Structure 1
Amino acid sequence: MKNRDLELGDMENMIQERVQRFLHRVEKEHGLNDQITPTIHMAPRTLRDLSPQSFSPRVVSIGPLHRDDENVQAFERQKATYLTKLMTCMPSPQETIMNSCMQKVYASMEKIKACYVLTKTYDDAEFAEMMVMDACFILGFIRQVLIYWSESNSEYIFQLGAVVRDLVLLENQIPFFFLDEIFKCTIAELYLGMSLITFMVPVLLFLNLFDSDADLGVVENISINDTHHILSLLHEFYKPQNDDIIPEGCLSTRNRSAVDLDKAGVKFKPNRSQTWVLGMEMEFPCFLWSWCKCTLRMPVLNVHDSTELTLVQNNVL
């Protein structure tokens, strides 16, 4: 009877200990959910079924969601090449830089994982190496794009287009705050005074849907705190940075199609806004009694191979 009481007591202690650990984990995960809403996840099934090729990377996987896809395995070794080239350009020893990068990822491990809706469990060491490798690849790759951009090597830039398109897929992202941490450990030492967002301009311009003069001026107003990942940065690029750009009440009026406006005599001309990529202007005749009709200046849409993909990704956010 005494042994039985001891066994029951041990069982109660074990259950109590496990309950406490469980409640601690629930409280911890609840706290993370209050701080961070997952922003990197698989696209809704309804959208994926309509266009599967619009969400899966074709060349390179970024982050954990498509890491095991067969079609991107061949490029994994290329990541190491970009990382090595980046490290050889740095003024600090490679080991010192890697130590700094690993410290960054381990310091934010739980916060980084909370950004994902993970479909597979990764141990911390494997996850840390994956994050550092992918972040360094992205930075090293964009640095190469910058070099060829400055040399006006359009042929090489065109060849890199497939990789650029993979970098803006919803399911193919890493948290922007972490990319910024690795940027400060690496690229920031090469380009003093440059921010990560300014560094990303070649990607934004490559994927720009509109023929617009708004580039650096718009980008410099984007806050890293409002940017979840590279796709989110592209989304911010298209948003008005100034609430006054859209007059109050204009969104509540009845929308008219271009056909309706054309029938009413409105003329259409291209508009290249300096302040907003999607900026539009209405020009009225000089005199109210003039027979001249109004002119609506609109952004010019560029249609190319990645237009549909870019539109789909921005609509999913």
Structure 2
Amino acid sequence: MNEEAYTPQVISTGPFHHDNKNFQILEKYKVRYLENFMRRARTNLENLVRIVKALETEIRQCYAETIELDSDEFVTMILLDAAFIIEYFLRDMFPVQWTNEDRTVIKPWITARMQLDFLLLENQLPFFILNDLYQLVLVTDSMYRPFIEVAFHYFGFLNTQNKPSDSNQFNQIIHFVDLIRIFYLPPPDLSERQPDSRVEKIYCATKLAEAGLTFKKSESQCYLKLKYHEGGVLEIPRFTIDNTTEIFARNLMALEQCHYPTQAYIIDYFLLLDFLCRTTLQISLRNTRDSLLSFA
């Protein structure tokens, strides 16, 4: 197992990597963002602590492991992490709010890596606590949009199907990894996966092509929307592979193993890709004008 695919590199959110000494720069900056958040929300520290403390038991229950932090440490961690995420996401939505200090501390390479760190399964805050704290901001000014829209803006590059934020699919989001999974899921009107179905052994693409199966690039923006046509044609949306692919794949698959074992669409998809691409580079599929796989 590639531990680096699950381990944050620049920022810790939540309890699992809380003590990592490598994140001290942003840990100190979280205090600044908490101060900014209090001014933005027109509230004080005592009120914020009261809100988080009231939800402490529910938040702890969201984590599979027992968190050894005492109540004060846990509440402080959640509050600092949540305030940082909200403030940072709002700066992404409203770039004019970036300060010179922000640009000095949060350099471009940190910005790029932080986006990945926010999508690691071991680096999550429950969505509900972010949403609850954000309500304090929402009521202060009409320019602010609901937090789900703020999250959509930040992770919008992954919403290739342009799903609307008011879709029922987003009513019960667990955390950011869950949000990305929903971005990738087929539209609700497609046939649901059978609970007891599983991907059995499939021949590689070269052998299937030799047996008469034709592969065709689909124009669908849903990676999981594979379609078989009578006559032996399999339509597959183009899938781009880059240096972040393994991180996305492993964390989404880990989420499905934990929370969606009977709706493991992502797992099925990557298992299928694994079967199809077993032979050396699958040149017949990749080196064509309508290549199904793209390497960034």
Deviation of 1:82 (Å): 2.9
Does 2:216 match 1:268?
A: yes
1:74 corresponds, among 25, 28, 38, to 25
Does 2:185 match 1:239?
A: yes
Deviation of 1:163 (Å): 0.7
- Please give the alpha-carbon distance, in whole angstroms, between the structure 2 residues aligned to 1:198 and 1:118: 30
1:223 matched residue in structure 2: 170
- Please give the alpha-carbon distance, in whole angstroms, between the structure 2 residues aligned to 1:205 and 1:71: 29
Query: What stretches of structure 1 of length at least 5 have no aligned partner?
Result: 1-49, 150-155, 285-292
- Please give the alpha-carbon distance, in whole angstroms, between the structure 2 residues aligned to 1:223 and 1:194: 16
1:62 matched residue in structure 2: 13
1:141 matched residue in structure 2: 88
- Please give the alpha-carbon distance, in whole angstroms, between the structure 1 residues aligned to 2:194 and 2:19: 48
Aligned ranges 1:91-110 → 2 under 5 Å: 92-95=41-44, 98-110=45-57
1:14 matched residue in structure 2: none
Deviation of 1:301 (Å): 1.7
Does the 8 Å contact 1:197/1:224 carry over to 2?
Answer: no
Please give the TM-score of this superposition, normalised by the length of structure 2: 0.68
Does 2:73 match 1:126?
A: yes
- Please give the alpha-carbon distance, in whole angstroms, between the structure 1 residues aligned to 2:189 and 2:16: 36
1:168 matched residue in structure 2: 119
Q: SS of the residue aligned with 1:244?
A: coil
Deviation of 1:120 (Å): 4.8
Does the 8 Å contact 2:93/2:154 carry over to 1?
Answer: no
Does 2:35 match 1:84?
A: yes
Task: Evaluate the alpha carbon distance shift between residue 267 and residue 110 of structure 1 in structure 2; reply closer, same or farther with a 3 A threshold.
Answer: closer
CA offsets 1:276-301 (integer angstroms, 9 cap, x no match)? 453234567xxxxxxxx765443222
Does the 8 Å contact 2:10/2:110 carry over to 1?
Answer: no
1:12 matched residue in structure 2: none
- Please give the alpha-carbon distance, in whole angstroms, between the structure 1 residues aligned to 2:108 and 2:140: 25
Of 227-236 and 256-265, the range deviating more from structure 2: 256-265
Task: Evaluate the alpha carbon distance shift between residue 259 and residue 108 of structure 1 in structure 2; reply closer, same or farther with a 3 A threshold.
Answer: same
- Please give the alpha-carbon distance, in whole angstroms, between the structure 1 residues aligned to 2:192 and 2:63: 34
After superposition, the CA RMSD in angstroms is 3.4
Q: SS of the residue aligned with 1:68?
A: coil
Does the 8 Å contact 1:82/1:137 carry over to 2?
Answer: yes
2:240 corresponds, among 302, 305, 310, to 302
Query: What stretches of structure 2 of length at least 5 have no aligned partner?
Result: 97-106, 256-296
Paired-residue identity, %? 23
Amino acid at match of 1:237: F
Deviation of 1:147 (Å): 2.8
Task: Evaluate the alpha carbon distance shift between residue 69 and residue 205 of structure 1 in structure 2; reply closer, same or farther with a 3 A threshold.
Answer: same
Does the 8 Å contact 1:65/1:119 carry over to 2?
Answer: no
Bigger Cα Rg: 1
CA offsets 1:104-157 (integer angstroms, 9 cap, x no match)? 2121111111222445522222221211111111111111222349xxxxxx87
Does the 8 Å contact 2:161/2:183 carry over to 1?
Answer: no
Of 262-271 and 307-316, the range deviating more from structure 2: 262-271
Q: Which has the higher helix share?
A: 1
- Please give the alpha-carbon distance, in whole angstroms, between the structure 2 residues aligned to 1:128 and 1:82: 16
Task: Evaluate the alpha carbon distance shift between residue 265 and residue 121 of structure 1 in structure 2; reply closer, same or farther with a 3 A threshold.
Answer: closer
Does the 8 Å contact 1:66/1:172 carry over to 2?
Answer: yes
Please give the TM-score of this superposition, normalised by the length of structure 1: 0.64
